[in-house]
Amino acid sequence: MTHQQMTIETIEKGICLNEENWEVATLGMGCFWGPDARFGSMAGVMRTRVGFAGGTTPTPSYRMMGDHTETLQIEYDPQVISYASIVKEFWRNHYPNRDNYKGRQYISLLHYHTDQQRQTIETIRKEMEAELGESIETEIALFSQFTLAEERHQKYYLKRYPKALDQLETLYPNKGMLVDSIFAARLNGFVKGFGTKDSLRKEINQWSIGETEKTFLTSLFLSLKW
């Protein structure tokens, strides 16, 4: 496969071979741009997408959110990162107290997808309340629905670098392809200050893709003009 024939979907296909074993986490911790970058930088997090959850308003959008909350949804490989690690990262990086928010747009929210996730949340909640020295008032509930936010909100920080996006155009001929891309998630985290060039280079080298693809992604990453 030549570089001209490479798109992110063909390159990342090998990483997604065990996709049926991935699990989903859904959380809200303020403006969803930051969590998208934070969690997108973490090894084991395979996909991130931002949207709206927690409310009853039908078909929410950024301008007409209703009673929903800005939310991040994560697909992760539990063999690499545990749900407990995700929940700890969640609670350590925002203020989970209802009195700190007006309305529902930015509240602390955690939706579990399985009973095992619910049990993990309760266990970690007790640990974190002891660590933080105060009660946690995160809205915890069974997941019901998630509405994807508009394309402009996906991988927001990466999109603030038009020169880099131009260099990525062959890999991502459609900007919508950024949403489900592992590489895009890592780049979005990198430009927000999560991770280093060396850590991302090392992670790419561990991905289950061909050596040609590893070399291509690494060279492309190191050549990006920010």
Average of pLDDT values for 193-201?
Answer: 95
Task: Domains for the chain: give ranges and CATH numbers.
Answer: 3-14+155-223 (no CATH), 18-148 (3.30.1060.10)
How confident is the model over 2-35, as pLDDT tens digits?
Answer: 555 678 999 999 899 899 999 999 999 999 999 9
> What's residue 100's pLDDT?
60
Residues 76-121: pLDDT tens digits? 999 999 999 999 999 999 989 876 667 899 999 999 999 999 999 9
Task: Give the per-residue pLDDT at 7.
Answer: 86
* Phi/psi at 88 (5° precision): -65, -45
Helix 211-223 to helix 197-206 angle (10° resolution) is 160
pLDDT tens by residue, 34-52: 999 999 999 999 999 999 9
Active site residues: 31
pLDDT for residue 143 is more than 60: yes
Report the 10 Å Cβ neighbour count for 164: 18
- The total of other beta-carbon atoms located within 10 Å of residue 37's CB is 26
Q: Using CA atoms, how far apart are residues 213 and 14, in angstroms rounded to an integer? A: 11
Q: Count how many Cα atoms sit within 13 Å of the Cα of residue 185 in the half-sphere of its side chain.
A: 27
